A and B are shown apart, each in its own frame.
Chain A
């Protein structure tokens, strides 16, 4: 087992939990939080590998991920709020008209 393996395993587990959360949770904001969890897991992998390879590319990438995640959260939450204003509900199950 390499030095980097524990961090990768942790990253994988967090990622999986984030995925399952997206599938299971109904509150749109909690789903969003799980997406953030997945991003964080990816960040962890990047930083671990940065140390593994001995250059800072991974950390720079993690930094950019954070920035982009921030921007994404801003817009996402604004959208959720706008939807909430019209629908009075934050459940992802509400938008279910595109079906058979």
Chain B
């Protein structure tokens, strides 16, 4: 049954993309139905899993590669980890498909959109159901492709096309890391299967495992938009909002975290790699948070927030067995509330459509929308409370557990995570205040209205999940559930009680909210972005100069290298080939002047030639 979970959306993608215009009318509905069926299958599998004794089973589909020493099967592994992901992907995915039926209702290319969405779901499912790194890589590349297609969905916009390219190229860098990791696996263990590698790490050298861990981290950074490969995520907001919700919030960007958690056996024996993960995660969670503070585009704020929250997940993954389960827990809750907020933002944009038919993303044009769009406001508020960690909501449970684990590990890591939580509270409150509260700053011709039920329905469902997601932690259920996969958490050795971290977090969050209220809520919001601002704001507006760093360090030297290679090819390689004929031509140009048409010159050459021959004969026969 497991292959069908992948197969159904894949069939949907094939039918819609290959079928073409004929499927325009009913295609989107088929595409929404199929992930729904996959979700049903996932639920059935999950319930079966809960009661089963042997908790993981492998479906061997066929032998994919059989070359020399390398044997790779197209194997699917269904265990506790994949079961949770299956539910997340198919569940949230189906809700977003339903939402898109309304959001993309007026787009003439929506059939293609749904085809790409199905393709994405199929690839993501392949990624999480893989039994070995190569099948995972197949899914990895598939989601990268789907992301490119969907970011650049509105092809007529040059900014969208550029953003799609940027995302794909930066992901490529990460993919190189993953490819090298797979090769290293093969060289070290002779196989890329998780089972073989997990048993083999005990015998491998630590430095090799450190390198493996770092390479896997590089791959994860690319997909999950962590430093240094983080610059593409904000540009990826060019895609339609359902894409941002599904791919760049809930699922694709979490693939890096999945990879880290799935490769826990590697990280457990390579403390160096684990330290690198923690460092990258902490820097990124602060980076994303700072960026989110200065953006006026609602989607870019949420994107910065995503970057930051994934930093939390990576931090948890880097903390070892103490944090793996919480990384997954936060991943799930984040999937709920971030998708919720993105869809809510899409609903707001939809409602704020101007006379030109374009949705407006600038928060400076919002304000006092809670009365105009009540359902959107309420569902968005649920997500907001979850993300800042309001006690009782899902985010509170997941984030606090991470901060708690961080404090146990090293107090300064925990302190930085706390700081991140505070900044998160600040910018999310700013977003809420600018959008739903305050004075109306609507432009002329804009009449905010509530979205249709097909869009608000998924919002309500996701809001409910944002609230209730914390139930997963009930009785340490999720930790126990994932223990066979990620290992048992160590005993709590620090003297701090469990509620200490929570209290600290709530205090910091309250400070952040208060600061936002003081700076944003109390003062009137300018209708256009002010240019005279303090230098931290300028720096944050430029994404902490992430793009500029990439340009100077990578793009410019790359361009120069390409120029050099081009010259070498044109003048060196081509020169050798065309130089020969050119030399011949030049020589011919010299020699042809001998033929000047005068009979007397020719006679002279005849005589001269004859003389030379006679002389030669004489010299040879000299006695």
B-chain residues with CB within 8 Å of residue A97 when the two chains form the complex: 597
| A93 shortest CB reach to chain B, Å | 6
Does B596 belong to the interface (CB within 8 Å)?
yes
- Report the minimum CB–CB distance from B177 to chain A (whole Å): 63
Contacts of B598 in A (CB 8 A): 92-93, 96, 99
In the bound complex, CA of A26 to CA of B599 (Å): 10
Complex alpha-carbon distance, A64 and B603, angstroms: 26
A43-100 contacts to B (CB < 8 Å): 92-93, 95-100
Q: How large is the interface on A (under 10, 10 to 19, 20 to 34, 35 or more residues)?
A: 10 to 19
Q: Which residues of B563-606 are within 8 A (CB) of A?
A: 592-593, 595-600, 603-604
Report Cα–Cα, A98/B595, bound state, in Å: 8
| CB–CB B600/A100 < 8 A | no
Q: Which residues of chain A are near B596, meaning CB under 8 Å?
A: 96, 99-100
- Report A-chain residues with C-beta under 8 Å of the C-beta of B600: 22-24, 26, 92-93
* Bound CA span A22–B600, Å: 8
Residues of B within 8 A of A23 (CB): 600, 603-604, 607
- Number of B interface residues in the complex (CB < 8 A): 11
Question: Bound state CA distance, A24 and B597, in angstroms?
Answer: 15
Which residue of chain A lies nearest to B599 when distances are taken between CB atoms in the complex? A92
A17 CB → nearest B CB, Å = 13
In the assembly, what is the distance between CA of A57 and CA of B595, in Å?
42
**Complex Cα gap A24–B604 (Å):** 9
C-alpha gap A93/B607 in the complex (Å): 18
Per the bound structure, the CA–CA distance linking A97 and B593 in Å amounts to 13
Q: Which residue of B lies closest to A95 (CB)?
A: B599
- Asked if A19 is at the interface (CB within 8 A of a chain B CB), the reply is yes
- Nearest-neighbor residue (CB-CB) of A22 within chain B: B603
Q: Which residue of B lies closest to A25 (CB)?
A: B600
What does the 1/0 interface line of A11-52 toward B look like (CB < 8 Å)? Answer: 000000001001110100000000000000000000000000
Instruction: Give min CB distance, B498 to chain A, whole Å.
Output: 99
Q: What's the Cα separation between A23 and B601 when bound, in Å?
A: 8
Closest to B596 in A: A99
Which residues of B lie under 8 Å from residue A99 when comparing CB positions? 595-598
Instruction: Give the residues in chain A near B607, CB-CB below 8 Å.
Output: 19, 23
B594 to A: closest C-beta gap in Å: 8
In the complex, residue of chain A having the shortest beta-carbon distance to the beta carbon of B591: A100
A92 to B597 Cα, complex, angstroms: 10
* Interface 0/1 of B279-317, CB less than 8 Å to A: 000000000000000000000000000000000000000
Chain A, Cβ-Cβ closest to B589: A100
Contact B604 A98 (CB under 8 A): no
Chain B residues packing against A (C-beta within 8 Å) = 592-593, 595-600, 603-604, 607
Q: Which 3 A-B pairs have the closest CB atoms?
A: A99-B597, A96-B597, A100-B592
Starting from the known contacts A23-B604, A100-B593, A100-B596, 17 additional A-B residue pairs (CB-CB under 8 Å) come to A22-B600, A23-B600, A23-B603, A24-B600, A26-B600, A92-B598, A92-B600, A93-B599, A93-B600, A95-B597, A96-B596, A96-B597, A96-B599, A99-B595, A99-B596, A99-B597, A100-B595
A residues in contact (CB < 8 Å) with B: 19, 22-24, 26, 92-93, 95-100
What are 5 A-B contacts defined by CB distance under 8 Å?
A92-B599, A92-B600, A93-B598, A93-B600, A97-B597
